[in-house]
Amino acid sequence: MFELPTNKEYVIAPLSLAILSTVLMLFNLGYYLDFDRTAIANGEVWRLLTGQFTHSNWYHLLLNILGIVFIWLLHAEYTTIKKYWVNVGLLGAFTGLMIWLFAPNIVVYTGLSGLLHGLIVWGALEDIKRKLTTGYLLLIGVWAKVLWEQYAGASADVAMLIDSRVAIEAHLFGAIGGVLLAIIYLFYKTKKPA
């Protein structure tokens, strides 16, 4: 039978991510924190990371919170509070930097979706490392979605719901970041003294 990962160690980090994003939305702090290409060019480099935690509207936030819950259900046992936030920070910074460098058409970006794609890919690779068939299915599913978006574009319905362009580039960059994160952990584990 399936048991929810309700251990405090597994709940605190994803819950705190959802709370952080909600507080930023509640106090309308996006003006100061959104990924804004002009502001970043003028020295506000923190926006490369902080834009990941702001949202265009409440529907956007709700969709991302559902993503947090989905990942928690699938892979909570793979992280500690510290590791979760390291993963979120690295994937968020990586996604923001890749948008800055390789998606000049994105002037303003908000939302967790890029780094959430990275967390899902990293978790799927952890499943595979543990010889779970579901990891392969999840990895194939995520990459099929990401590649389909690159070919066909984003869902117009989702864009209308979140009142913003769906940044499919961020999904791709996040997924790549998830692979790189898994490689970093593998390298770190092999270099760590026994």
Bridge partners of residue 108, in order along the sequence: 36
> Is the domain 8-184 a CATH 1.20.1540.10 member?
yes
- What string of pLDDT tens digits covers the 194 residues of the chain? 568 999 999 999 999 999 999 999 999 999 999 999 999 999 999 999 999 999 999 999 999 999 999 999 999 999 999 999 999 999 999 999 999 999 999 999 999 999 999 999 999 999 999 999 999 999 999 999 999 999 999 999 999 999 998 999 999 999 999 999 999 999 887 776 65
| pTM to 2 decimal places | 0.95
Find all residues with CB under 8 Å of 54, minimum gap 6, and list them. Answer: 21, 24, 25, 29, 30, 33, 34, 110, 111
Q: What pLDDT, on a 0 to 100 scale, did the predictor assign at position 39?
A: 98
Helix, strand, or coil here: 185?
Answer: helix
Tokens of 30: 């996006």
Q: What pLDDT, on a 0 to 100 scale, did the predictor assign at position 188?
A: 82
Q: What pLDDT, on a 0 to 100 scale, did the predictor assign at position 189?
A: 78
Tokens of 97: 């930097």
- Phi, psi dihedrals of residue 181, rounded to the nearest 5°: -65, -45
Q: What pLDDT, on a 0 to 100 scale, did the predictor assign at position 194?
A: 54
Using the 8-state DSSP alphabet, how is residue 36 labeled? E
